[in-house]
Amino acid sequence: MSDGPKVALLDYGSGNIHSAQRALERAGAQVSVTTDRDEVLNADGLVVPGVGAFAAVMEGLSAVKGGELIGRRLAGGRAVLGICVGMQVMFDRGVEHDVDTQGLSQWPGVVDQLHAEVLPHMGWNTVESPHNSALFAGIEGERFYFVHSYASRSWSLHTDGRTAEPIVTWSEHGERFVAAVENGPLSATQFHPEKSGDAGIALLKNWLGTLD
Identify whether 194 is a catalytic site residue.
yes
As a whole number of angstroms, the distance between CA 204 and CA 4 comes to: 12
Identify whether 128 is a catalytic site residue.
no
Identify whether 192 is a catalytic site residue.
yes
| Residue of 121, 148, 173, 192 marked active site | 192
| Residue of 84, 121, 142, 182 marked active site | 84
Concatenating the DSSP letter of every residue in the chain gives ---S-EEEEE-SS-TTHHHHHHHHHHTT-EEEEE--HHHHHHSSEEEE---S-HHHHHHHHHHTTHHHHHHHHHHTT-EEEEETHHHHTTEEEEEETTEEEE---SEEEEEEE---SSSSEEEEEE-B--TT-STTTT-TT-EEEEEESEEE--------SSSPPPEEEEEEESEEEEEEEEETTEEEESS-GGGSHHHHHHHHHHHHHT--
Q: Angle at the Cα of 141 (from 136 to 144), degrees rounded to 5?
A: 70
- Could you list the active site residues? 84, 192, 194
